[in-house]
Structure 1
Amino acid sequence: MKFKPVPPAPDEFEFVARAQGAVPRVPDSEADCCARLVDRLDLSTRDDARTWLTFLRALELVTETPTGYRRTETEPTVPDCRAAFLDRVFVASAVHDALAAEPQTPESAFAAVRERVPTWERHRDPSWEATWRERIARLLDWLVLFEAAERVDDGFRVR
């Protein structure tokens, strides 16, 4: 399963551990988990919290059970999060691969993966290109945070 929601990358990796720690150890409802994320991470909205909850699932730091969501016992590390990110987040590995060929700007990285955007999303959202440009920019920032890429004068490149 590939996950699409990607929150803005934080300035420091420790924020990921704080986000995981905001999710209870004992399964709880999505609404309650989102409320905890809003309160403990100072997020603006429950939609932001829902994005984080899903993203933490992609990183294998949170799991969904029949009775709700709970954090895993996995200690967040940059290498483990990078591996899960590249494996489980939609087009993350394709963006990373594009950086291996040559440095990419967010715009050129979007162009490299544009055809992978599902057709139904193109038809559902008239501003799908803007939405996906933002998503690709976020993916690039996460690649930097997970030490898989670095910023350079002409964009981003594999680290």
Structure 2
Amino acid sequence: MRFKPVPEPPTDLEAVAPILEAVPETAGAVDDCCGHLVAETRLESRDAAEAWLVFLRALDLVTEESAGYRRATGRSPPTGSLESAGPRLREAFRERVYGADAVLEALEQADGPLAVADVVDAVRDERRAVARETSNGRRETARLERVRRLLEWAVLLELAERSADGDRFE
């Protein structure tokens, strides 16, 4: 299963720890997991909390049960050691986050660093008509934002690097 939400990346991987720590150890321990994350972390909205929960689930750090979300037992790294779980997180990101593999393949196949728009062009579905793609500005803006977030997460997980000028990825 691939998961689509990609939250705004933090400045470093350790900033994920407080969000992960706020997820209950037992499903159903809190009545409203999204509300709990908003109350206990820097997250400002239920939508942001929901995106984080699903993204952490994609990284195999959180599981969802009928009673709600909980931290994944045995797979979640202890708080403060997310960086030590790098290989496992990188694999889950590539395999379980929708679009991550295509973005990384575009970088791998490129002759040099790519801007976000270049990555979007490289992964664009060839079957769609170009006219339809460019006529919906909101869709294009959302696609650019999503790819930017995927690229930023790839940098955090050491799957990609930011170019020297900071505007491109490789």
Q: CA RMSD in A?
A: 2.4
Give a deviation string over 1:47-81, Cα, whole Å, max 9, x none.
11010011011001110112111111221422211
Unaligned 5+ segments in structure 2 are none
Unaligned 5+ segments in structure 1 are none
User: TM-score by structure 2 length?
Assistant: 0.82
Which of 130, 136, 140 is the equivalent residue of 1:129?
140
* Native 8 Å contact 2:162 2:169 kept in 1: yes
TM-superposed CA distance for 1:45, in Å, is 0.7
Letter in 2 for 1:14: E
Once the two structures are superposed, the pairs formed by residues 102-113 of structure 1 within 5 Å of their partners are: 102=110, 103-113=113-123
Which of 134, 146, 152 is the equivalent residue of 1:141?
152
Q: For 1:4 and 1:68, locate their aligned partners in 2 and report how far apart those are by CA, in whole Å.
A: 19
Structure with the larger strand share? 1
Q: SS at the partner of 2:64?
A: strand
Q: For 1:85 and 1:78, locate their aligned partners in 2 and report how far apart those are by CA, in whole Å.
A: 10
TM-superposed CA distance for 1:114, in Å, is 1.7
> Are positions 1:88 and 2:96 aligned together?
yes
* Native 8 Å contact 2:3 2:55 kept in 1: yes
* Native 8 Å contact 1:82 1:148 kept in 2: yes
Instruction: Please identify runs of 4+ aligned residues in structure 1 that moved more than 4 A.
Output: 116-119
Give a deviation string over 1:13-50, Cα, whole Å, max 9, x none.
11222221110011028962111211222211111101
Q: How many residues align?
A: 153
Q: For 2:128 and 2:26, locate their aligned partners in 1 and report how far apart those are by CA, in whole Å.
A: 35
Q: Work out the percentage of aligned pairs sharing the same amino acid.
A: 44
User: TM-score by structure 1 length?
Assistant: 0.87
Q: For 1:140 and 1:117, locate their aligned partners in 2 and report how far apart those are by CA, in whole Å.
A: 24
* Native 8 Å contact 2:25 2:71 kept in 1: yes
Once the two structures are superposed, the pairs formed by residues 19-38 of structure 1 within 5 Å of their partners are: 19-28=19-28, 32-38=32-38
Q: SS at the partner of 1:64?
A: strand
Q: For 1:139 and 1:45, locate their aligned partners in 2 and report how far apart those are by CA, in whole Å.
A: 21
TM-superposed CA distance for 1:110, in Å, is 0.7
Distance 1:127 1:148, change over 3 A: same
